[in-house]
Amino acid sequence: EEIDNLKSTFKTLKPLYKTLESEKSKIVNIELIRGYNQHRVSKFMELFRQAKHEILFMIKLELQVSEELDNTAKEFFARGGVIKSIYETDSEFKVKKGETWTTGTMEDLINVTTKFESYGEKVMLSKVRVPNMTIFDRETVFMNINDKTIPKHNEADIIVKNKDYALNMVQVFESYWNTSLTIKDFKKEISKKPVKIK
């Protein structure tokens, strides 16, 4: 009889517990993505497509120009969106030429960022290290926790959906923006060095 009562009680409690849990899950504002995988790319693209007004990037240029991102960016610009980006000018960035990854040159950096600018992106180049971070509509922050001492598959990304935190990160972005160089000024600066620039 006691076991039957216990089973009956659990039948009653379980739906109530599930309701409370589902309500709590709606207010979770931090998401951790473990590992360097396709899931992180799809989450980033989902946030990109959902953006309405403004996207602020700070990034070390390591990947090829993605055609999908270009098309998404064009659609975003067509809706009146603004994209401002700060790219780190570290000489160890990688670019994909054909099917091969090669160490990028300053010429590659200028050519790629000039292409981004031609789409409508506002671009600045930073000589100091920048965090890999994107701020969507001053409400959501996507950060890559980059650690060279661990394998890429153990890296992590964090998505924070919190307006106050996002506004704090906007101030970080603006401090880097104000100390970075335009592509034109960067060209002038490195033209003093023996580097071929288009």
What's residue 115's pLDDT? Answer: 85
CA angle 141, 147, 151 (to 5 degrees): 115
pLDDT at residue 22 greater than cutoff 60: no
Contact 56, 32 (CB under 8 A): no
As a whole number of Å, the end-to-end CA separation of the chain is 86
pLDDT of residue 12: 66
Helix (H, G, I), strand (E, B) or coil at 126: strand
What tokens does 73 get? 């960016």
DSSP code of 127?
S
Q: Indicate the SS3 state at residue 107.
A: helix
Cβ-based burial of 61 (10 A; exposed 0-12, middle 13-18, buried ≥19): buried
Q: Which residues contact 187 (CB under 8 A, 6 or more apart)?
A: 110, 197
The better pLDDT of the pair 20, 88 is held by: 88
At residue 142, φ and ψ (nearest 5 deg) are -110, 115
Polymer length of the chain? 198
This prediction's pTM: 0.76
Which tens digits make up the pLDDT trace of 63-83?
Answer: 555 545 578 888 899 899 999
Q: How confident is the model over 134-170, as pLDDT tens digits?
A: 999 999 999 987 666 666 666 788 999 999 999 999 9
Q: Which H/E stretch holds residue 82? A: strand 82-88
Average pLDDT value for the chain: 81
Q: If you search the block for the tokens 């590659």, which residue do you land on? A: 108
Q: What sign results for the dihedral spanned by CA atoms 26, 73, 124, 186?
A: positive
* H runs (alpha helix) in the chain: 2-25, 38-50, 67-78, 106-119, 163-178, 183-190
